[in-house]
Each structure stands twice: as structure tokens, then as C-alpha cells.
Structure 1
């Protein structure tokens, strides 16, 4: 069968998509690229339900594909919390539970049997598992052959009032450290040179088992080979209990000095309404300790604007925080009410206010990025070769994960090089080799 798989959402979702693509090809089906998607006999939608706009795009796609006579499979988070919406859009859509990515082959085989035997469609099929299966040490069709996404856990033990993902993925279940180590060893043997650790919150890892994230990072750092590790998003309230050990673990040469610490808001009243279990003095402590150890640290954060009852003063607190701490990257989202969450019943702001605040914060972020980029021109230091670009150049990463593109170098992923930053583009730096 001709199969087109489209994936939405986070890096954990991307990892699941890579596993499912490998299943498609292993069973002998033809995996189509986006250009050829119109030829698909089966459409797999690896869904995300974090934002309303994404949800609506997904519902449109599964409806329109069904109307064309294409068999539709919906995986990811949406089937766990919005099954009725999916089946309303397409009553014949097949469901693959968020924990059951490894069972995609069973669904495809059932669909193929119906087609080859001329059987009627007979309604939708569902495959689910209560616990996550097949996320580690399985074949993958990687989006980039040099990057391996390793999911270290499923679920979350906290309950932010706006977050639907907790309802979709359940309570925290940390994967066994020995399985994670085996998975990364295999990826390095496959010539992957950049390892992404992903989950709903990396710093929660091991809260349910005992082997915490700092110890896991030390174990990963002992794996032989030329590779670097990118630690994914970590919430302040789960970083704080392991802060000192975590800073020590980041001191490894194999760990990028990148801190992705989502604050969502700098206003305590908004944080309380969000049920975010941290204060801004804790955020300050975390950033201060990381920057004291790693002077060239990159700071990423996530911010939600226009949350329920957010005042102008609340928003201004967030803007001032951004100006003070100057993150290299900010993921800005306008608040989107999600079903099944506590905040779904809260009073929402006028959408025009959210749009205006989003635009204002984007302007501030662009000014900060422009200033930071100018400051980096002339920088010299050692960079890690991550991957080839589409143009045949190489993308290198500084120790703090800043991207520097080098042309005509002959460098290969996994190597190190001394580089000088000579210019800046919107999403990366330009550089040259130095002797």
C-alpha cells in the first residue's frame, strides 16, 4: 500500500513518527513524501492537541482524506482526549493509542487484508496499550540520519491547569536507564552524532524509579564515541530538587550547555492560576547557577501570553523578565483553551488582547536576538559538527548549541573544528575555519 505519514507536535511526537515510518517500510509498504501525498491509500496522522489551531488543521485533514476514500489512522495525543471529535470528523478513522506506536503494523495488516479480500470497511479499528511499548531499541526512519531522538519517559506527575498533554499521556513512567543507554549506544553505532533526550519534562526523569536525570546524564556521558547530547525541556519546579547535581552533570564535554527552562509567565498571580509550582526566585536561582558554571550558556524558554485574567501588569512583568535574562530563544504561544483541563472553565481574555501582547513580545525578542547575534560576530572557539545542510555545507554547534554553518570545509559529522563566526542569518550564524 502507498502510505503517507504526517506528524505534528513535539520532539517526542517526532520520535514516534520515526518509529512508525520504519514499521511502514519494514512491512513492505511504500512511504510517500509530501509531494506524492495525493497518491496515498493510507494516511497516518500523528496528532498533537496542545493548540486549538493545530487541532482544527488535523480534523480538517482527517475529514478531507476520508472523503477522498483514503484509509485514515490517527495516532498521537488526540485519540486519548478527543476521540469523539476525531470520529465526528471521520467515523471510519482508525485509532492507534499514544502508547501503541509499535503496533502500527497490526493496523496496516488489517487494512490491507480488507483491501485484498475485497471486504467492506466495516467501521474503525482501535489499538491501545495501557503502558508505553516499543519506544526504545526499535528500528527508525530518522528525519536526519545524524540525529537520534531518545524518549526517556512518558507522562507527567504534575497538573498545570492549561495542559491537556497530562490527560493524554498519563502519569510519569520513566523508561529503564539500561534500555536508554542501549538505545543511545545503538544510535551512536549507526553514526548518529547528536542525541536529543525528550519527554514531557526531562527533569522529572526518575522521580518514579530513583535513577534521576543527573545520574542518567553521567551514564550517557560514559558511552564511547563522538557525539553530543541535547537535554530537552525541563520545568523549574522539577529542576530545583536536583539543581546542584544537574549542573555537575552538564559539565560533561558530551552535553550541550543549553538550558530549556519554560517559565510560561513571570507573574506570580498568573503562575498560581496556571498551577505552575514554582516562584520566579527559583527560576533566578537555576539560571544564576547554570550561568555561573557555564558562561556561554544558551537559555531557551516558553511563554504563554493572554492566559485567563492576565492583566497588563502581569504581562509587563514577563516582558521585563525577558529583557533582564535575554533568552536566546523564546517559544511564544497565545493561550488556547483545551478540553478536559481545569483552565477550560476559566474566563478567557479578548483574543485581540492576546494577539497584541504576542506581537509586542515578539518585537522584544527580535530586538534581543539581533543584539545577541551582533555580539557573537567575531567569536572564536571549538564547534561540534552536527550534520550536513541541504546545500551540502556543514552545520556545526558551539558548546552552547549555537548553530554555525561552514561552507567548503570537508568536515564530517562527529568531528570538532576551530571556527570563527563571521556573520549572522535569521536562524543561524555563518562561520569559517581557523587554524
Structure 2
């Protein structure tokens, strides 16, 4: 059964890449209007530092979910391996790669604006992700190279990676490069292995074995149907000290009627079974979920069922989205609920979410947090405890990438603030120093490659010198032997004459 969120329009003219290593961009040329015939496109000479492929600078921007971010990291790695330099400053780049998301219209608006900015700056623009695939003939995509998300091909790719054990190998590599936290993510992590006779828990147990002590694994989103068969094993994995007791399980609505119209393959009761089981087996586990307000068939009674569900569980992380129709989906043809009512329901559910504070009871607790990133206020580091709850700590340079013992001294709606315990020293769980900023995981740096090339060249030069010396020595010995033979011949010949 197809998901209502599946955005690939029937009959869309897209080329599916054979594999991730052979992405085939499709270039669509803009039709030239009579009034534009004399207008030339801006030349690349002022921006491009070289016309040799693999030598230019690339700027890569991502919108959307963790899976989109993962795709972008992969593309960055492929580009870097080929010789392109990934840069943070977009106007220094020769090419912009923009990876899009369809979850919310505002993200699509940012995507459109970035494309416009790139064109106005005379940059070469490549678009990727689900926005470009959902509506490849959109006016704002005309003339651009498009890399579409082909879900079937992605499934085949995951299978190939599974058979080659590349996921576990990639985790090993990451930890060997100083990484202390990895995310296992996809469009639906729970569906892993269903088509090849394996399961997500089997993969997770293999990953747990290669995670160093003190490092952490975070699981990505999974829909209810794909985890119901593995609740017992998943609860054991979530209890493991190297795995965050956190799971993102989107429910979307508290009404079975709405879920049916959405073509979701689960019921509210099945969602509750997942949540109740995990909460009973993994005390303190964090369950995050998503809600869509204002789906076309949602009635006030349906909405009240959603409010009741959210009030029951008081999810610490609740992502509330207004319904937006996507081109090519069944929902796009349905009669929409008035925008005013959609906003009203969104506001009411948000008020329910804001009515409780999930962390107040933890005030005064002592916790161990893994510090991994900078906070939005730029004044704190962000650490996460075993339950992937956000704990702000002072921005001490010695804390980043380390396990820090703290006492919770403040709680907010979305965070806690911890005071480091002076008698406890930060501990680095990483196997080595993490890669410097700008270096791509899995590939040697430019300096490393240069040094390696120099060492190889020196080895070749030494080998040549050794061959020359040996050859010269052989020639010298041969000459001496010839000379000796000649002398011996002369002596023998003289004796015979006498």
C-alpha cells in the first residue's frame, strides 16, 4: 500500500541512478523566449577557477530530516574523493548543490530562494532531494541539473550495503577517526532488512559490538508497523549503555479514521502498544512523535482524539506540522480545511504541548552527558544524557567530545542546564583525536595525499637508484672478469711460445 506522503508523481520523467556511485543528473534546458534571444547567460570565467573537472569548489546546503543530512554527507564524500573542495562560504564556490525537503512548504520556499540567489550570482546550481523529484517540471527548476530520490533504488542500495557489511564497517571507520556519536538513520529505520530476511535488531547488535565504551548510538525514525515485531529485542538494545534510550515514532494523528485516509498501515492502538511496551521495559525512555494538523478529512472529533493522545503521553518532543498539499498525491485532490481552522487546531495542540514541563522532576539530579555540539545561544555546549535529553553545559573547550558529570541546576521546557561536578574529570571516549574541520570522513586529507605521493615518489627514485647501482656493479665485475680473462690468455699464450 502506498503512503499518502509518497510524492513521486505517476509518469514523472526521471532517470533512476543505477547506484549511488553512478548518479545520472538530468539537465533540463530553459526555453528561450523571443525577447530573451539576445541575452547571454553569465559566463563562468569570473567564478570558476578551473575548467578541469574535479578541481572546483562546491557549496552544499541541506534542508529537512536527518536522512537528507546523511545523503548530503555522502555526496560531499563522493565529491571530495573526486577532488572537489567542499566550502562553507557559498559565494566562494563554483557550484552549488542544494538538497531539498518536502516536509514543509517553508523549507521549499527557502529552497526556491536559494536557487534564485545562485542563478543571480552566476553559479552553477545542481538540485537534489524530494522537492526536485516531486515536481521536476516546476518553473523554478527549469534549466537545472536534477538528482532525484529514487526510493526503489535506495532500497537496493541498502541491501547491497547490508550484504557487504558496509554499515558496520562505516561505523568502525567513524570511531577510528575520533567520532564519539553515530546516528543510524533512513526514511524508515525500522523497515531495515524486511526484504532480505534480516531485521533491524540483528544489525543493531552488530553495531553495539563495535561502539567504544562511552560512545553512543542514536536510532532514527521508525514507523509503528515495523517495530511491533521486534519490541522485546528493541527494548534490550535501548537498555544498552552505548545506545541512547530514545526513539522517534511518528503517529501523525490520534484518529484511526484519519490514519486510514492517510494510508498509514497502523492504528492508534498499535502505536500505543509500542509506546507502552518500551516505557515499561526501558524506564525513562524518550519517545518523540509527529502530528499533522488539518488533514483534509480531519473532523473536530478526530482532532480531539489527537489532543487526548498527546495529553496522555505528554511527549517531551512533539513535532506539530500543519497539513500542506503536495502535488501528485491523493490528498492534494481532497477538499482542504480552511486555513484559519488549521491554524487554530495547530495553536490549540501547541498550547497542550506547552502546558507541561517534562524535566522539572530532574532538578538536582547528577547525570553523565556526552557533549557533542554548540548550543543555539553560542554560549553553551549541548550534551545528551542516556535518554537523549538536552543538557546545556558551560562552553569549556575541554568538554567538547567528552563525557562530563553534571548536576542539574535549571530546567526548561526543552532543556536542562548542568553544572559540572568539580571533583569529576571529563573523559574522552573517542579512540583518537577527531578529524579537523574541513576534512571528509573516510578520505585522506590533501596534505596526507601529497605526503603519500611524495613518499611513493621517493621510494620509486630509491628503487631506480638501487637498480642503477646493481647494474653498474654487474657491469664493473663483468669488465674485470673480461680483463682478467684477457690477461690469463696472454700469459698462457706467452708460455706456449717460450
* TM-score interval, normalised by the smaller of the two chains: 0.7 to 0.9
Contact 1:48–1:54 under 8 Å retained in 2: yes
| Distance (Å, rounded) in 1 between the aligned partners of 2:159 and 2:345 | 37
Is 1:249 aligned to 2:233, yes or no? no
Please give the residue correspondences for 1:360-379 in structure 2 after superposition, counting only pairs within 5 Å: 360-368=348-356, 371-379=357-365
TM-score, length basis structure 2: 0.67
| Distance (Å, rounded) in 2 between the aligned partners of 1:431 and 1:302 | 28
Of 42, 54, 57 in structure 1, the residue corresponding to residue 110 of structure 2 is 57
Of 67, 79, 100 in structure 2, the residue corresponding to residue 47 of structure 1 is 100
Deviations 1:182-229 (A, max 9, x none): 000101111111111111111111111122111111111111413111
| Distance (Å, rounded) in 2 between the aligned partners of 1:242 and 1:231 | 14
Instruction: Return the offset for 1:31.
Output: 3.7
Please give the residue correspondences for 1:284-303 in structure 2 after superposition, counting only pairs within 5 Å: 284-303=272-291
- With 377-386 and 253-262 compared, the bigger mean Cα shift is at 377-386
| Distance (Å, rounded) in 2 between the aligned partners of 1:262 and 1:90 | 31
Instruction: Give 1:261's aligned residue.
Output: 249
| Distance (Å, rounded) in 2 between the aligned partners of 1:224 and 1:37 | 35
Deviations 1:307-330 (A, max 9, x none): 012111111111111111011101
Is 1:229 aligned to 2:217, yes or no? yes
| Distance (Å, rounded) in 1 between the aligned partners of 2:342 and 2:83 | 48
Of 397, 418, 421 in structure 1, the residue corresponding to residue 408 of structure 2 is 421
Q: Which has the greater radius of gyration?
A: 2
| Distance (Å, rounded) in 2 between the aligned partners of 1:62 and 1:50 | 18
CA spacing shift, 1:277–1:408, aligned 2, 3 Å = closer
Instruction: Give 2:263's aligned residue.
Output: 275
Instruction: Give 1:306's aligned residue.
Output: 294
SS at match of 1:83: coil
Which has more strand, going by share of residues? Answer: 1
Is 1:71 aligned to 2:58, yes or no? no
| Distance (Å, rounded) in 2 between the aligned partners of 1:380 and 1:52 | 42
Contact 1:421–1:432 under 8 Å retained in 2: yes
Instruction: Give 1:15's aligned residue.
Output: 70
Contact 1:404–1:428 under 8 Å retained in 2: yes
Contact 1:193–1:413 under 8 Å retained in 2: no
- With 68-77 and 181-190 compared, the bigger mean Cα shift is at 68-77
| Distance (Å, rounded) in 2 between the aligned partners of 1:410 and 1:69 | 40
Instruction: Give 1:140's aligned residue.
Output: none
SS at match of 2:72: helix
Higher relative contact order (CA 8 A, sep 6+): 2
Instruction: Return the offset for 1:296.
Output: 1.0
| Distance (Å, rounded) in 2 between the aligned partners of 1:337 and 1:224 | 42
How many residues align structurally? Answer: 364
CA spacing shift, 1:84–1:414, aligned 2, 3 Å = same
| Distance (Å, rounded) in 1 between the aligned partners of 2:156 and 2:111 | 23
| Distance (Å, rounded) in 1 between the aligned partners of 2:373 and 2:114 | 32
Instruction: Give 1:399's aligned residue.
Output: 386
Instruction: Return the offset for 1:89.
Output: 1.7
| Distance (Å, rounded) in 2 between the aligned partners of 1:352 and 1:175 | 47
Q: Any unmatched runs of 5+ in structure 2?
A: 1-55, 424-498
Contact 1:3–1:44 under 8 Å retained in 2: yes
Instruction: Give 1:382's aligned residue.
Output: 368
CA spacing shift, 1:174–1:336, aligned 2, 3 Å = farther
Instruction: Give 2:153's aligned residue.
Output: 131
TM-score, length basis structure 1: 0.76
| Distance (Å, rounded) in 2 between the aligned partners of 1:258 and 1:417 | 20
Q: Any unmatched runs of 5+ in structure 1?
A: 100-128, 133-152, 156-171
Is 1:176 aligned to 2:227, yes or no? no
Instruction: Return the offset for 1:174.
Output: 7.5
Contact 2:374–2:382 under 8 Å retained in 1: yes
| Distance (Å, rounded) in 1 between the aligned partners of 2:67 and 2:156 | 9
Contact 1:174–1:205 under 8 Å retained in 2: no
| Distance (Å, rounded) in 1 between the aligned partners of 2:121 and 2:419 | 51
| Distance (Å, rounded) in 1 between the aligned partners of 2:397 and 2:114 | 42
| Distance (Å, rounded) in 2 between the aligned partners of 1:420 and 1:359 | 35
Deviations 1:119-175 (A, max 9, x none): xxxxxxxxxx9834xxxxxxxxxxxxxxxxxxxx689xxxxxxxxxxxxxxxx8574
Of 128, 136, 146 in structure 2, the residue corresponding to residue 95 of structure 1 is 146
Contact 2:360–2:412 under 8 Å retained in 1: no
- With 193-202 and 10-19 compared, the bigger mean Cα shift is at 10-19
Instruction: Give 1:318's aligned residue.
Output: 306
CA spacing shift, 1:217–1:334, aligned 2, 3 Å = same
SS at match of 1:372: coil
| Distance (Å, rounded) in 2 between the aligned partners of 1:29 and 1:362 | 45
Instruction: Return the offset for 1:419.
Output: 2.3
Instruction: Return the offset for 1:20.
Output: 2.7
| Distance (Å, rounded) in 2 between the aligned partners of 1:238 and 1:28 | 40
